[in-house]
Chain A
Amino acid sequence: EVLLVQSGAEVKKPGESLKISCKGSGYNFATYWIGWVRQMPGKGLEWMGIIYPGDSDTRYSPSFQGQVTISADKSISTAYLQWSSLRASDTAMYYCATLINFRAALNYWGQGTLVTVSS
């Protein structure tokens, strides 16, 4: 069974850094792309970017380029989403999900990580 388990909810202050994780199991982690999706409170889904854990090939949506860093460690089957300096506007639910290839739908989803940024 394919499972993606994300790290727990975070409460941070503006300007702080953060790294959240997404651990895959039940499949060959290195061979499926992982995508990240943001959902701000009460809003729709936004595509952030994707990474191929096999070689760390990463593609960002222009809206998120330079705002976040996506990475992966295939040795521990884990993908990451990180911020160097959080803003209140980063408050959102963040989901990871798998793609079987570069041009594919998001087929398995993590449970989401709620990030709250408040002073």
Chain B
Amino acid sequence: EIVLTQSPGTLSLSPGERATLSCRASQSVSSSYLAWYQQKPGQAPRLLIYGASSRATGIPDRFSGSGSGTDFSLTISRLEPEDFAVYYCQQYDSSPRTFGQGTKVEIK
């Protein structure tokens, strides 16, 4: 089973700042089968990024994903008030699919 470790656990930033979230895999994720999701309180998760770097439909271009192999990142170029949420990475390369434990982006 591929274990995904996200860091930091919590990121305290102000609106307008840049956020960089990390996701490290215990073994290589081939063909960049890595996704990022956003979850706000009381809501279902929403797909942001798939294939490590492709934005899902309707996702603003301030969200970008990068990485390959075992190291991936999600960058939010300028935080908007609605971006404060929990973010999860997920690999869908091998079974069982696994999620990281999440990074909370909170208002400083």
Contacts and interface: CB of A to CB of B under 8 A. Distances in A.
B88 A109 contact: no
B51 to A, nearest CB: 8
Given A45-B99, A47-B97, A105 B44 contact: no
Given A95-B45, A109-B45, A104 B92 contact: yes
> Chain B contact residues: over half helix, strand or loop, or mixed?
loop
A106 B35 contact: yes
Q: How large is the interface on A (under 10, 10 to 19, 20 to 34, 35 or more residues)?
A: 20 to 34
A110 B44 contact: yes
B33 to A, nearest CB: 6
B64 to A, nearest CB: 16
Contacts of B101: 44
B47 A107 contact: yes
A95 B90 CA distance: 15
B34 to A, nearest CB: 9
